Amino acid sequence: MSWEIYFVFGLLAFAIISFIWERIPPDLTSLTVFAVLLFVSMLSGSSDLPDFQNILTVFSNSAPLTIAAMFIVSAALERTGAIDLITSYLRRMVKLPYKRFLFVMILGVAAVSAFVNNTPVVIVLMPVILTLSREMGLPSSKLLIPLSYASIFGGTCTLLGTSTNLLASGILVEAGHEAIGMFEISAVGLPILVAGTIYLVFFGNRLLPRRENLTSILSEEEREEYITEAFVRADSNLVGKPASECSFLKTRRIRLLEIVRHGVAVEEDLNQTRLEAGDRLVMACHPSGIAAARSEKGIALQAELSDDLETIATDEGAIVEAVVAPNATIAGNTLGEINFRQRFRMVVVAIHRKGENQRERLNELRLQPGDTLLMMGPNKAIENLTNNEELILLDRPRVPTQDVRAKMPIALFVCTGVVLLASFNVVPIIAAASLGVAVILLSGCMKPKEAYASIEWSILVIIFGMLALGVAMDSTGASLLIAEGLIIFVNSIVPLHLQTVAMLLVIYVMTSVFTEFLSNNAAVALMVPIALGVALALGVDPRPFVIGTCVAASASFATPIGYQTNTYIYGVGGYKFKDFTKVGLPLNIICCAVTVLLVPIFWQF
């Protein structure tokens, strides 16, 4: 093998290890691969490595632009309340027995997810499902995994169902083949939906765990915290001293939420802020902590205020859970860096991430999309978070304003128009999606700034980086080398007449494994070029292999990290990693069997 192939394999190994290790974000990994590939190809002048212009051709691929446009269309449906239509549908079914409700929920969510990006569907419905689970007397863990899986089922039914289908179609077109049709993949997706629904309805109750949410880690005393305020008296010996020197603030029974000075919240580090006469301390206290605060000299609580001081109310503090939103600007920062307590008027009690509850050294943790925060604060602060773009409250659904909700018919019309125009091949899907975005922005369904913020740029960066790696693998012959190695392996254990089906199985399993531990888009970008190489080496049509790759990249059930919707319900439902493996691995096997059986019937090799 040439040094170019070794170099490309080295980049591939780096990408896979980095994706699994997660020491750096996946988009940064992908960007690093792109930059290194571009830099080395320019310096080496090798004819085997793609040159500067060839690498940049990944930006001419229509798939990422289509994916970006569909992010905006999906966000418009979410913001105008179109996705909420399923909420009233589910509320009417809440009195049904568990199995019947599960059946109705899966079909309803899958129907929506077939045409809308999965992530907003799950995010909008999470608070609804949590509320309904309480009304049904069920732990939320019995419904949240099915919610995520149902959105994945829907994604396998249409071209628009998930970004991986669009990406695979784009790579197929770049290779000179016909694009995947709007409902072409439904021949496999619908049977998977049926099989998956039957599996979850009849076996879900026994396999799904009974997990408690993050609130369960609180003691009874912690759940009875109060929000109270107090003044620093003029004669207090605490004047001029840091707040951390207040003895009552050194206990776990009281948390200092903010210091209000001259009517304005102090933005610096609260513990290091030197107190002044008249400072108002806003605190979260356990019942026993109020007595400790009262014993501090120079601190006046409500019951001890003199007539010349402002009356301060003591309100019961509310405990709520929230998830860091996909495009949150606070992601990547610590609580201290974003002045969380001053910005949201809430204090973070614990953070749930990847099956673990963090309660110590919270200020040192960098927030990530999908983190579940257990917070405590006054009711007014909680109400202000209801439609916040950074945090998604889990105990109350978002409520679009009437002005935005009035635009719902436009958003539904755009989504329907994109589907119809692409289905009947009136125009390519990129043209239909782009026109849809223009209509959404011109009609006021979304502001341009909101539209740009709704695009998950990290996913696009992953796609472009992995597309560039795919170009390099194809140019150097690395893809063909892998394909030939797979063919030799299959030939050694499978009869000649079963080679193509066996190869479909191998490609499916490889893609599925990559998806579970990398990401679905990275798996497609890496595996479709290999699938094309296998087809070329065997002298057969690559379409069956690409369709198998699409399904395998979407059907990610066995881990909470392979698919974004799994990641979001991971912390919310209080799940452990093994819960996904226990429920999802059999479902992976079912989807694999359905795909390998049906693909050769509908797509000839």
* Average model confidence (pLDDT) across the chain: 83
Give the amino acid at 259. I
Residue 366 DSSP SS3: strand
Q: Residue 204: which of 94, 99, 110 has the closest Cα?
A: 99
Question: Quick one: pLDDT at residue 303?
Answer: 42
- State the greatest distance between any 2 C-alpha atoms of the chain, in Å, as a whole number: 95
Residues contacting 573, CB < 8 A, separation 6+: 140, 141, 144, 145, 211, 213
Q: DSSP string spanning 307-362?
A: TTS-----EE-EEEEEEE-TT-TTTTSBTTTTTHHHHHS-EEEEEEETTEEE-SSG
The candidate with the shortest Cα–Cα distance to 138, out of 212, 88, 220, is 212
Q: How many Cβ atoms from other residues are within 10 Å of residue 27's Cβ?
A: 19
Would the pLDDT of 238 be above 90? no
Residue pair 556/517 in contact by the 8 Å Cβ criterion: no
**The two structure tokens encoding residue 314:** 């003591």
pLDDT at 434: 94
Please report which confidence band the pLDDT of residue 148 belongs to, taking 50, 70 and 90 as the band edges: very high
- Of the given ranges (7-21, 204-218, 260-274, 543-557), which has the lowest mean pLDDT? 204-218
Q: What angle do CA 247, 249, 253 make, to 5 degrees?
A: 115
> Residue 400 above 70 pLDDT?
no
Residues 445-476 have pLDDT tens digits of: 889 998 998 888 888 999 999 999 988 888 88
- pLDDT at site 302: 47
- For residue 347, the surrounding DSSP H or E stretch is strand 347-353
Amino acid at site 194: V
CB neighbours of residue 150 within 10 Å:
29
pLDDT at position 314, please?
43
Residue whose structure tokens are 């978002």: 398
13 is written with which tokens?
Answer: 């190994």
| Residue 373 three-state SS | strand
The answer to whether the CB of 77 falls within 8 A of the CB of 411 is yes
Residue 456, classed as helix, strand or coil, is: coil
- Does position 360 have pLDDT exceeding 80, yes or no? no
Q: Quote the tokens at residue 339.
A: 């002045």
Distance of CA 191 to the CA centre of its chain: 26
How buried is 335 (Cβ within 10 angstroms: 0-12 exposed, 13-18 middle, 19+ buried)?
buried
Nearest by Cα to 166 from 478, 571, 546, 449:
546
Is 136's pLDDT higher than 70?
yes
Domains and CATH numbers, the chain: 70-213 (no CATH), 226-316 (3.30.70.1450), 318-393 (3.30.70.1450)
Contact 576, 208 (CB under 8 A): no
Consecutive H or E run containing 529: helix 520-538
* Torsion angle defined by CA atoms of residues 341, 347, 349 and 352, in that order, rounded to the nearest 10 degrees: -60
Bridge-partner residues for 231, per DSSP? 280, 300
Position 309 scores a pLDDT of: 34
Token reading at 133: 């689970």
Q: Look up residue 302 and give its two tokens.
A: 């409500």
Dihedral, CA atoms, 214, 220, 226, 227, nearest 10 degrees?
-20
CA distance 548 to 126: 30
Burial of 74 (0-12, 13-18, 19+ CB in 10 A): buried
Q: Token pair for residue 482?
A: 């892998």
Residue 232 in tokens: 């620093």
pLDDT at 408 over 70: yes
What confidence tens digit (pLDDT) does each residue in 96-115 have?
Answer: 899 999 999 999 999 999 99
Where residue 242 falls (left for φ over 0; alpha for ψ -120 to 50; beta otherwise) is: beta
CA-based nearest residue to 109, from 83, 70, 74, 71: 83
Lowest mean pLDDT among 10-14, 217-221, 318-322, 544-548: 217-221
Determine the length of the chain. Answer: 605
87 and 123 Cβ atoms separated by less than 8 Å = no
Please give the full DSSP string across 282-306, using - where no structure is assigned.
EEEE-HHHHHHHHTSTTEE-GGG--
- Mean pLDDT over 381-392 rounds to 80
What is the per-residue pLDDT for 296? 61
Supply φ then ψ for residue 421, to 5 degrees: -60, -40
| Geometric angle at alpha carbon 325, from 324 and 330, rounded to 5° | 65
- Rounded distance, CA 228 to CA 302, Å? 8
At 182, phi and psi to the nearest 5?
A: -55, -45
pTM of the model: 0.81
How much is the pLDDT for 328? 82
pLDDT band at 593 (very low <50, low <70, confident <90, very high): very high
Tell me, what's the pLDDT at 310? 38
Residue 259 to residue 437: CA distance in whole angstroms: 45
Q: 40: closest CA among 17, 61, 73, 10?
A: 10
Output the CA–CA distances (angstroms, integers) from residue 19 to 457, 517, 567, in the order listed.
17, 7, 15
What's the rounded Cα separation, in Å, for the pair 474 and 462? Answer: 18
Q: Are 508 and 595 in contact (CB under 8 A)?
A: yes
Question: Rounded CA gap, 250 and 379, in Å?
Answer: 25
245-286 pLDDT tens trace: 777 676 666 777 778 887 777 767 777 888 888 888 877 766
- Give 63's contacts (C-beta < 8 A, 6+ positions apart): 166, 167, 169, 170, 171, 463
Which residues lie across from 261 on neighbouring strands?
264
> What mean pLDDT comes out for the span 214-240?
66
Helical ranges in 353-407 per DSSP H: 379-384, 402-405
What is the three-class DSSP state of 158? Answer: coil
Which strand ranges, in their side-by-side order, compose the sheet holding 391-393?
356-358, 347-353, 372-377, 318-324, 391-393
